Structure 1
Amino acid sequence: MKYILAIDQSTSGTKALLFDEDARLIGRSDLPHKQKISENGWVAHDPMKIWENTKGVARAIIEKNGINKDEVIGIGISNQRETALVWDRDTGLPVYDAIVWQCARGAKICEGLSDYAEMVREHTGLRLSPYFSAAKIAWVLQNAGDLSGRHLCCGTIDSWLVFKMTHGKEFRCDYSNASRTQLFNIRTLSWDSEICSIFGIDPETLPTVTDSDGLYGYTDLDGYFSKEIPIHGVLGDSHGALFGQGCLTPGMIKATFGTGSSVMMNIGEKPIFSDAGIVTSLAWSMGGKVNYVLEGNINYTGSVIKWLVDDVKLLGASRESGEFAAKANPEDTTYLVPAFSGLGAPYWDSEAKAAIVGMTRSTGKAEIVKAAEECIAYQITDLVLLMQQESGLPITEIRVDGGPTKDKYLMQFQSDMLSIPVAVPKNEELSGIGAAYAAGFALGLWDQSVYEKEERTRYLSKVDESSRKKRYDGWKAAVASVLTK
C-alpha cells in the first residue's frame, strides 16, 4: 500500500492527514498551539512549537494507524497564509515570534506608505494592508533588535516548514503563498523589487517560488523516516481548499469556514482587478501554468463562536451554538459586527471596533448567540455578491469547508442569504485534501477522477426575497455604524 501524508498547519493547530492509494482519508492527528494575544490585540505564534507539533502529528498519525512508515511516498503541506516570520538561516532559529495573519501591528507601517497604495495594488493585486505578510515582516525587521550581519530568511509558514523539514537545505514557498505576501508581482510572477524596497525588505531574504505541485525537497522528518521522502505539493490553506473542492474552472467558488474565512473564486488564467474591496491573487501554479482568483478575507468567523465560549462564557462548547440559535426568536433584530481587530474584506477598516447593535428588551442569550452565528453568513454573503458583480460570472453554487460547516443552522442561513445551494462535502479537511491531491497528482498516484468520489450535502434556500433583503439590509446598517472611514 502507498500513502500520502498531508500536513495542514492552521491558525489554531497542526494536523496530519493520511491518505491511501485510493485517495481515501484514513485518519488524522491534531495538536494545538498557543495563541499569544497581547493587551492591544496583537497575535503571535511560537514557530518552534509549530515545527515540533508538525513532527508530532506526523508520527502520531502513522503510528496510530499501524502502517509501515516506509510506505509513505510523498508529503503535501497546506498552511495558514499571511502569517509571517523571520529566522536566522545559519542557526535555523526564529528571531521573533511568527506574526499571525489576524494581527494588525503593521498598521502604522502601511499608513506611512499610503502614497504607494495604488502601485502596491497594481503590482500585487492586494490592497495595502497590515493583513498581508509584508508589513508583518517589516515590523519584525524594525523591532526584533540588531539583526545586522545575520543571514536572514523572511517567509511564510510553508517556507518555514520546508526549511525545517529539509534540514535547512531548501528555502521555498509556492505561488499561492507568495501572492499573499504583498511582495510578489502577480503580473511578472516574481518578487517585486519596488515593493520590497518600500517595505525595507531585501528580496535576497525571500524564498524561491516553486510550482504548487513542484518538488520542494526531501525530508526524513528529523530522523523519523528511514529514507527521505519528497515534499511534492504546497498550497496556502484556502487555495488548498479550492483545489480540494475541485473548483478548477472559472466561476467556481468556495468558502472556508475556520478561525477566519476566505471566500475564493476561480477566474481562470487571466487576472481580473477590482476596486470594490476584494483582491486578486494566484490560485496556484500547476505544471508551470497559473490560475488566478478573486478573494476576500474575513478576520473573525469561527473565532466569534470561540469568543462566546472562552471569553463571554455564553456557551460551554462551540458545537452548542447552532442549537441555541435555532431556539432564538427569529424576529429578533440583534446584529453582532465582529470587528475585534478591525474589519477585513470588503471594508478594510483596521480601526473599526466590534459591536452588538439592535437589541431589544426581549433579547437574551439565544438571540445573542444567533447574532454571532449569523454574522458569519452575512460576511460571506458580502463577498460572494461582490465577486459575482465584479467578475460578471454566474454563481450557481458555493462549496464550503471547515469545522463550522457541521452547524446545520449556519449552513441553512448561509443558503438563505445567498439564495443559492450551499454544498458541504462529507470530508471537511479540504485544505489538507488539496495539498494531498497536489502531491498525489505530481507523483502519479492519482488523477482527477478522485473528485468524482466526493459526497456532498446541499442546503437550499427557504426564505423569500423580501425577507432575505430585510435581514441583509439590517446587517449592512449595523456594519455602517462601526466603520471609521
Structure 2
Amino acid sequence: MRAILAIDQGTTNSKAVLVSEEGQVVARGSASVGITYPKPGWVEQEPCRIYASVCEAIEACLAVAPAAAVEAVAISNQRESVTMWDAETGEPLGPVVSWQCRRTAPACERLIAEGHQDRVRALTGLPLDPMFPGSKYRWLLERARAGRRVRLGTIDSWLVHCLTGGRRHACDASNAARSQLFDLQDQRWSKELGEVFGVDIALLPEVVDSSGDFGATLGLPGVPDGTPIRAAIGDSHAALFGHGAFQPGDAKVTFGTGSSVMTTLPQFIAPQNGITTTLAWRIAGKPTFAFEGNILVSAASLPWMAGILGLPDVAALVDLAATAEPGGPGFVPAFVGLGAPYWSSDARALFSQINFGTTRAQMARSVTDSIAFQVHDVIKAMRAQSGGELGALYVDGGPSQNLFLMQCVSNLVEHAVIQCAAPEASALGAAYLAGLSLGFWSDLKVIERLPRSTQIITPQPVDRQTLLDTWKDAIARSTARRTPANGE
C-alpha cells in the first residue's frame, strides 16, 4: 500500500498518520510533548523533546501498518512557536517559546508606542502581539552567545532540520506568514520588518511552497533515508485545506488548547475588527489568503475546571454541563489574555454574575459555553468585514467530536456545523498537499471530492440575546484595566 506519512506536531502531543491514495487515514500514532511554565505568562517546550515525540509517534503509527510503503513525508505544525539552534551542530540554543507565551508583551507595547502597529499590520496582516514570533525571535537572539552562527525557525523548520539531518533550513509560506517578518504582498522576508523587530532576516529559513520540496529524510527511525518531504503547513491552515474548504466564504474552526477560526478569501483583504489576514497556503507560487481569528484559550479551560470541581475528566465535566439550561454565570477564559477579536494582554480570567443559587452544573456550563461564545465573536467580526455569506462551516480537533459542544457552537453562530468523523484534519491537509506534488491527486477538485464522513449539526432555538448579554458583561469586566493596590 502506497501511503503518505503525515506528521501533526501540536502543543500537547505529536501525531503521525498514514494516508492512503484514497485519502483515508489507515494508521495512527501519538506521543505527548510536555510543556512548562517557568514564570507567570511564560510558556516553553524543549526542542529535542518535540522531535523525540515525533519519532515516537511515527514508530507507533508504522507499527500498525508495517506493510505500508511511505512515498513521502508531510508536516503540519503548531504555529507561532519558535526556537533557535546552532547552524553547524544543530544544538538547540534556547527553548521553544510557545505561541501562548506572553513574555514579550512589554516589547510589543514599546513597538506600538513607537508607532509601528499600522505598518506591521499592513505588511503582515497581523497585529503587534506577543503571540506572534517577531518579538520572540528578538528575545532569543538577545540570549545567544556571541560568535555562534545561529538559525531561527518555527516548528516546521525545526522539524525539517531534524528530519533531513541538518541539511535543510526551510519553512513553508503559511508558517512564514505568521512570523511578522514576511511581507504578504511581496511574498518574501522583509528587511524593513527585520529592522523593526531587531532580527537579521538572513538567519531565517528559506520559504518554500506549502506543497513543495523540503529535502529528504536522513536518520528518521522506521523511514528509509531519502524519502522526500513534500509538504509543510501550519496546522490551522492544514485543517482548512483538509476539509476541502477551497471556495471563498468556506470556514473551519479547529478546537484545541486554543482555537483557530479561518475562512477562505477570494484575494488579500487588509484586516480589521480584531481579526487577521493570513496566507492559507501557497501552491506553485500562488498564494491563497484567509481571514483568521486566534482564540488563545479554548478547550484548555475544560481540564482546569474539571479539576476545580473534583471531576475525574473532561467528559464528566461536559456531561455535568449538559444538565444545566443555557444561562447562568458568565466565564471568560483569559488565562493568558484574550486574542481575537479583543487582543487584550491585560484581560484576566473570571466568572461573573455568581450568586448563592449558582450550581456546579451552571459553573461547568459557563466554561463549556465560553468556547462557543469566542467562536461567535470571531465569526461576527469576519462577517462584518467580508460582507459575504458564510459558506460551509467545518469543525475539527478533539473537542469537535463532542456533540453537545458543537451544538452550542451551532446555536450561537446560527449556522450549520459540519462535524467530521476523522479528527485529523490537519494531518490530512498536509498529506493532501504532499499528494498533489506526488501525483496522488491531480488537482484541488479531486481532493474536494475525496470521501469524508461527516455529520451536519443544525442550530436549535435559544435565547441568544440574553446569553450574549451575559457574555458581553463578562468580557467587559475581564478587559477592564485594573488599578494596582499600591497605586503604581
User: What TM-score does the superposition give when structure 2 sets the normalisation length?
Assistant: 0.95
SS of residue paired to 1:229: coil
Matches within 5 A, 1:15-54: 15-54=15-54
One-letter amino acid of the structure 1 residue matched with residue 57 of structure 2: V
Residue 178 (str. 1) matches residue 176 (str. 2): yes
Matches within 5 A, 1:94-105: 94-105=92-103
* CA deviation vs aligned residue, 1:353-385 (integer Å, no higher than 9, x gap): 100111122212211111110000000000011
Contact in 2 for aligned 1:55/1:221 (Cα 8 Å)? no
Measure, in 1, the Cα distance between the counterparts of 2:42 and 2:81: 12
* CA deviation vs aligned residue, 1:214-258 (integer Å, no higher than 9, x gap): 010000343543331010011100000000011112111111001
SS of residue paired to 1:280: strand
Contact in 1 for aligned 2:395/2:419 (Cα 8 Å)? yes
Measure, in 2, the Cα distance between the counterparts of 1:158 and 1:217: 13
Contact in 1 for aligned 2:245/2:392 (Cα 8 Å)? no
Contact in 2 for aligned 1:423/1:458 (Cα 8 Å)? yes
The residue aligned with 1:281 is 278
The residue aligned with 2:299 is 302
Note the C-alpha offset of 1:195.
Answer: 1.1
* CA deviation vs aligned residue, 1:183-223 (integer Å, no higher than 9, x gap): 11101111111111121110100000000000100003435
Note the C-alpha offset of 1:313.
Answer: 4.8
Extract unaligned runs of 5+ from structure 2. 482-488
Measure, in 1, the Cα distance between the counterparts of 2:287 and 2:199: 26
Note the C-alpha offset of 1:322.
Answer: 2.3
The residue aligned with 1:412 is 407
Worse-superposed segment, 385-394 or 235-244:
385-394
Contact in 1 for aligned 2:75/2:430 (Cα 8 Å)? yes
The residue aligned with 1:460 is 458
SS of residue paired to 1:271: coil
Measure, in 1, the Cα distance between the counterparts of 2:327 and 2:128: 37
The residue aligned with 1:64 is 64
Measure, in 2, the Cα distance between the counterparts of 1:337 and 1:169: 45
Aligned partner of 1:317 among 299, 313, 318: 313
Measure, in 2, the Cα distance between the counterparts of 1:321 and 1:461: 23
Cα root mean square deviation, aligned: 1.4
One-letter amino acid of the structure 1 residue matched with residue 66 of structure 2: G
SS of residue paired to 2:478: coil
Residue 158 (str. 1) matches residue 156 (str. 2): yes
Note the C-alpha offset of 1:407.
Answer: 1.5
One-letter amino acid of the structure 2 residue matched with residue 73 of structure 1: E
Residue 111 (str. 1) matches residue 106 (str. 2): no
Aligned partner of 2:289 among 264, 267, 292: 292
Note the C-alpha offset of 1:331.
Answer: 5.1
Matches within 5 A, 1:64-463: 64-68=64-68, 71-114=69-112, 115-142=115-142, 144=143, 146-222=144-220, 224-268=222-266, 270-309=267-306, 311-328=307-324, 330=325, 332-447=327-442, 448-452=445-449, 453-463=451-461
Measure, in 1, the Cα distance between the counterparts of 2:52 and 2:196: 34
SS of residue paired to 1:319: helix
Contact in 2 for aligned 1:322/1:408 (Cα 8 Å)? no
Measure, in 1, the Cα distance between the counterparts of 2:366 and 2:35: 25
Contact in 2 for aligned 1:6/1:435 (Cα 8 Å)? yes
SS of residue paired to 2:5: strand
One-letter amino acid of the structure 2 residue matched with residue 476 of structure 1: K
Tell me how many residue pairs correspond in the alignment.
476
SS of residue paired to 1:336: strand
User: What TM-score does the superposition give when structure 1 sets the normalisation length?
Assistant: 0.95
Measure, in 1, the Cα distance between the counterparts of 2:31 and 2:417: 30
Measure, in 2, the Cα distance between the counterparts of 1:15 and 1:364: 38
One-letter amino acid of the structure 2 residue matched with residue 257 of structure 1: F
Contact in 1 for aligned 2:320/2:364 (Cα 8 Å)? yes
Contact in 2 for aligned 1:7/1:15 (Cα 8 Å)? yes
Cα distance change of structure 1 residues 292 and 325 upon mapping to structure 2, 3 Å threshold: same
Q: Percent of aligned positions with the same letter in both sequences?
A: 37
Note the C-alpha offset of 1:450.
Answer: 4.1
SS of residue paired to 2:317: helix
Measure, in 1, the Cα distance between the counterparts of 2:476 and 2:228: 50
One-letter amino acid of the structure 1 residue matched with residue 235 of structure 2: D
* CA deviation vs aligned residue, 1:314-336 (integer Å, no higher than 9, x gap): 431122232111112x1542111
Contact in 2 for aligned 1:23/1:446 (Cα 8 Å)? no
* CA deviation vs aligned residue, 1:398-451 (integer Å, no higher than 9, x gap): 111000012111111111101110111111110111001101111011244343
Measure, in 1, the Cα distance between the counterparts of 2:204 and 2:238: 22
Contact in 2 for aligned 1:396/1:420 (Cα 8 Å)? no
Contact in 2 for aligned 1:332/1:363 (Cα 8 Å)? no
One-letter amino acid of the structure 2 residue matched with residue 279 of structure 1: T
